[in-house]
């Protein structure tokens, strides 16, 4: 019985790590699919790809504007508030992994504003 009590926190910790890894993989897959969709659009199509809606907030991806820099970003991820009609933040992403990180940050930014996962549930 004492062994079971000792193992439970370890199992919960492992479950959290596995859950976070799966969440990251799903986010990376979402970003990868959106990027492929972005690449397959006709040149000059400036339409953004919607990645997620959270209340009035939309997280989306669009092509990066060409610059004269040696290293160009692959795409831009931004968060837009439709109620206020303004951009909250945007990130230039040079890799799919950077896009996944930006998406997660924007998701966590929007969730508390609409009573998402970071709010305490009613008891």
Q: For the chain, state the CA radius of gyration.
A: 18
CA distance 114 to 5: 37
Q: Residue 39 domain-assigned? A: no
Is the pLDDT reported for residue 104 higher than 70? yes
Tokens representing 20 are: 């976070």
Entry pTM: 0.71
pLDDT tens figures, 82-100: 999 999 999 999 999 999 9
Does residue 122 belong to any structural domain of this protein?
no
In this predicted structure, the answer to whether residue 13 has a pLDDT above a threshold of 60 is no
26 in any annotated domain = no
Residue 67 is assigned to a structural domain of this protein: yes
Per-residue pLDDT at 2 exceeds 50: no
Q: Is residue 8 part of a domain?
A: no
Do the Cβ atoms of 107 and 84 come closer than 8 Å?
no
**Domain of 94?**
47-112
Domain contains 123? no
- Supply φ then ψ for residue 77, to 5 degrees: -110, 130
Quote the number of domains for the chain: 1
> Which residues in 1-123 belong to E strands, given as ranges?
49-54, 57-63, 75-81, 86-93
Dump pLDDT digits (tens) for 25-75: 888 999 999 999 999 988 878 789 999 999 999 999 999 888 777 889 999
**Residue-level pLDDT at 8:** 40
């Amino acid at each position: 019985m004492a062994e079971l009590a000792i193992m439970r926190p370890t199992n919960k910790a492992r479950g959290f790590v596995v859950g976070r890894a799966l969440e990251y993989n799903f986010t990376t897959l979402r970003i990868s699919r959106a990027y492929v969709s972005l690449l397959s659009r006709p040149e000059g199509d400036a339409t953004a790809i919607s990645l997620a809606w959270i209340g009035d907030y939309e997280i989306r991806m669009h092509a990066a504007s060409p610059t004269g820099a040696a290293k160009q970003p692959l795409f831009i991820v931004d968060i837009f508030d439709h109620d206020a009609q303004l951009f909250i933040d945007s990130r230039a992403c040079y890799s799919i992994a950077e896009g996944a990180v930006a998406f997660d940050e924007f998701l966590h930014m929007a969730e508390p504003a609409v009573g998402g996962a970071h709010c305490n549930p009613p008891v």
